[in-house]
Amino acid sequence: MLEALKLIIADSQEQKLEPGVPRDIQIVSVPGKASVCIGVRRCGKSTLMVQIMEELLAKGVSRKNIVSINFFDDRLHAFKHNGLDLILSAYYSMYPEKKNDEKVYFFFDEIQMIPKWEAFIERMLRTEKCEVYISGSSAQMLSKENASQMRGRALSGELFPFSFCEFLRWKEIEYQGSLTSKQQFFIQNAFTKYWERGGFPEVRDVASEIRTKIHQEYFHAILFRDLVERHDIAHPKAVSDLAYWLADNIASSYSVNKLWSYLKTLGHKVSKEDVSSYLEWFEDAYFFFSVTGL
């Protein structure tokens, strides 16, 4: 495992960085706190981490002082049983001269897959000369969980799919100041495309039929991995049917009682408390959002 980690660290330090489109979010580093980026799957969190790495390199930070690990890497499958301390052992065995002498920048993607990661990060921030950046899928990296489990040692920022302004930036369309009629037409045309395609970075410029398939994959990945699996839901079909109903009735009024009655007509034996929990988990996963008090 130690040798595999060394290889992963070395590979990451040689990997070509592709920072992509600048995003309208500020991930600020504060001494003693981990910078955490949370958001829905495939919204660009990993790319944002690359952009931060590029900023560090531009400031003169050595590439050897940047450690990037994605815990979706299949080589780390057995890592759940070996402990996160191996990361520090692997890195400092490669660069012993940096221990307690130079600041090291650690980037962890999807670290929530590893049990007890919060305690490890909290200890790192107390005992190592480092900065820590974490990105992860929203259903497992919620700010309210970080606040309690990391004892106030995390600053969380939310990242969403492209806003229209970010979409215009990708299209390299100027949209500030006084606009000419030609620029206005470009923006109107871009909005039509944005409305059709949505803001997920991966589907910006693919054919319509492929875009539909990718969106469907996102829907099912979030539904089953970030909801059903995470919460060990006893009635996954009820959650799925509820998700489809909400997707088909966007911007419509609903009540817990109405949704419970709907699921009951489909034969699901769930309680109103179950439905309330499902709705809360949907929002935690950035899957659906409710507007209340209107």
Give the span between the Cα atoms of 185 and 196, in whole angstroms.
17
Is residue 219 included in any domain, yes or no? yes
| Average pLDDT of the segment spanning 29-51 | 91
- Alpha helices, DSSP H only, in 128-174? 143-149, 164-170
Name the phi and psi angles at 110, rounded to 5: 60, 35
Let me know whether 17 and 141 are in one domain: yes
3-state DSSP assignment of residue 159: strand
Let me know whether 33 and 151 are in one domain: yes
Tell me which of 127, 159, 191 is where a domain ends. Answer: 159
pLDDT band of residue 118 (cuts 50, 70, 90) is: confident
Q: What is the pLDDT of residues 231-245, one digit of tens each?
A: 889 999 999 999 999
Token pair recorded at residue 202: 């991966």
Greatest Cα pair distance in the chain: 67
Q: What is the pLDDT of residues 80-114, one digit of tens each?
A: 666 788 999 999 999 999 999 999 999 999 887 78
Let me know whether 145 and 215 are in one domain: no
Contact 27, 157 (CB under 8 A): yes
Token pair recorded at residue 79: 């890592």
Q: Which of 167, 163, 164, 141 is nearest to 154 (CA)?
A: 141
CATH number of the domain within which 64 lies: 3.40.50.300
pLDDT of residue 293: 66
For residue 142, the one-letter residue type is L
Give percent of the chain with pLDDT exceeding 90: 62
* Bridge partners for 158 per DSSP: 38
Let me know whether 261 and 150 are in one domain: no
pLDDT of residue 77: 73
Q: What is the pLDDT of residues 158-216, one digit of tens each?
A: 999 999 999 999 999 988 888 899 999 999 999 999 999 999 999 988 999 999 999 99
Q: Could you list the residue range(s) of the whole structural domain that residue 223 is in?
A: 206-294
Let me know whether 229 and 140 are in one domain: no
pLDDT band of residue 52 (cuts 50, 70, 90) is: very high
As for how many domains the chain has, the answer is: 2
Is residue 238 included in any domain, yes or no? yes
